[in-house]
Structure 1
């Protein structure tokens, strides 16, 4: 956002190249860019352009404002499965739950702790944005459906995840309790995602650290499995799981509080930073 106008651009070392102003007629929104697989064309065109705005002049929103679906994967790293201490091996299929776009904010915006609970927790994750529609996508073809990568802090209200017998949806969907961003990094090939280092820090302290090569369910498997029951469409976001080390697993648990800073960082994708604030 700039001067209360939604737009998109190319992030460079010198600032933001305002692509939405230049290509409004052809690609009026970032969703159209995703729909038409236009990242490569935009990058080529923008490479010779000078920045129009500094990072300080814009407000980050989530990179896909109106995704049809945001689907999250739970328990996708070996140590996360062991945290449950139930003696069970990792399941054959991923655990999934939906999140709503309103439950996320952009990079640099505060995550909101609601008055209903103090148990706001963090979960640093890698997210993939779908660029090509498909149903029952074979694993061998799955990566062809990725448009871009981004980061997520899949913030959770822990006690509200136990309000019902099976359901975690409530605790995963408080308004502005998570973040996605800071930007979309166009997907190139499997080497780009095969062994990404993913780290979450709270107030500078490393709380989570793992690599995508250790995921129980690969990016291919996640796309294959989710597309079995629902058609994936351009702009959908799949959030692929968090490493061990969330605040709920400390003894006693350590919850996020106003003033805390959470950073999620991953090789080749960037750094997502958000402060914590109480709901006004």
Structure 2
């Protein structure tokens, strides 16, 4: 099977760029196309991901990966929407006797709350309860409102991974609100890259795993999701218009640190790896906020 193209947002000597990962290097596509498409969001809006991948086949890498910093792939999405409680075992954690909900729980995160692959998640001084949540990301390529489920997959441009890091005690500061605990700066990560979406097999039944210091903590399959990707896109687009570059984080399996007895919070030096079939591995360490 031919390796799928991998698009990344990155910074080099303080300048934000985007490119195509080739082996242990990256082709700087922003140097060639940045005037027309300043970021991968505009590339996606133009439907140009696969065209740029074909163009870059004959190009040499401009930088080795060791000379760049990987950033979140879409630097300024109009919307970054997260789905909560989307695996059966995760729903059972709540022990409230309720069956799986009929509609997904949603919340918003800000881009500043995420960092890129290889960078540390930042534990804030306000709480030691930094936790991990491995998830699959879908990026919208074709916008729309009230998108039928039968057409929903055709609106996906690309896939990625997320560690939807959470400050657990801050998600309980209010009665019906998790926003605070989900938006501390650089507590989560997205990456390492975008994989163009071309067929349903890329999402239908893939394994999603999270490891902490090499120990498997989370594992499940997308075929078991309570709300499939088609339902998520249909539901969200009912109340808001989805536009190219919108990022949807689709839910985590059971096994987060909060569910251990006693809870196991992330601490400086820990290594968290989120992996999924065909998408690679998103890896981050942890550091205390300076």
Q: 1:112 and 2:122 equivalent? A: yes
Q: What is the rounded CA distance, in whole Å, between the counterparts of 2:162 and 2:25 in structure 1?
A: 22
Q: What is the rounded CA distance, in whole Å, between the counterparts of 1:232 and 1:257 in structure 2?
A: 36
Q: Which residue of 1 aligns with 2:243?
A: 233
Q: For 2:36, what is the secondary structure of its paired residue? A: coil
Contact 2:142 2:154 in 1 (8 A): yes
Q: Which residue of 2 aligns with 1:29?
A: 39
How many residue pairs align between the two structures?
Answer: 280
Q: Which residue of 1 aligns with 2:20?
A: 10
Q: What is the rounded CA distance, in whole Å, between the counterparts of 1:257 and 1:226 in structure 2?
A: 34
Q: For 1:195, what is the secondary structure of its paired residue? A: coil
TM-score calculated relative to the size of structure 2: 0.95
Which residue among 244, 259, 267 is the counterpart of 1:257?
267
Q: What is the rounded CA distance, in whole Å, between the counterparts of 1:166 and 1:3 in structure 2?
A: 43
Shift of residue 184, structure 1, vs aligned partner:
0.5
TM-score calculated relative to the size of structure 1: 0.98
Q: Which residue of 2 aligns with 1:96?
A: 106
Q: 1:193 and 2:203 equivalent? A: yes
Structure 1 spans left out of the alignment, 5+ residues: none
Task: Give the CA RMSD over aligned residues.
Answer: 0.8
Q: Which deviations, in whole Å up to 9, do the C-alpha atoms of 1:184-232 show, x marking residues without a partner? A: 1000011111011111000010100111111010000000000000111
Q: What is the rounded CA distance, in whole Å, between the counterparts of 2:110 and 2:35 in structure 1?
A: 29
Q: Which residue of 2 aligns with 1:64?
A: 74
Structure 2 spans left out of the alignment, 5+ residues: 1-10
Q: What is the rounded CA distance, in whole Å, between the counterparts of 1:209 and 1:202 in structure 2?
A: 12
Shift of residue 272, structure 1, vs aligned partner:
0.5
Q: 1:45 and 2:55 equivalent? A: yes
Which residue among 220, 231, 235 is the counterpart of 1:221?
231
Which residue among 130, 139, 145 is the counterpart of 2:149?
139
Shift of residue 15, structure 1, vs aligned partner:
1.1
Shift of residue 141, structure 1, vs aligned partner:
0.8
Q: What is the rounded CA distance, in whole Å, between the counterparts of 1:98 and 1:22 in structure 2?
A: 33
Which residue among 276, 284, 287 is the counterpart of 1:266?
276
Q: 1:157 and 2:157 equivalent? A: no
Q: What is the rounded CA distance, in whole Å, between the counterparts of 1:53 and 1:111 in structure 2?
A: 25
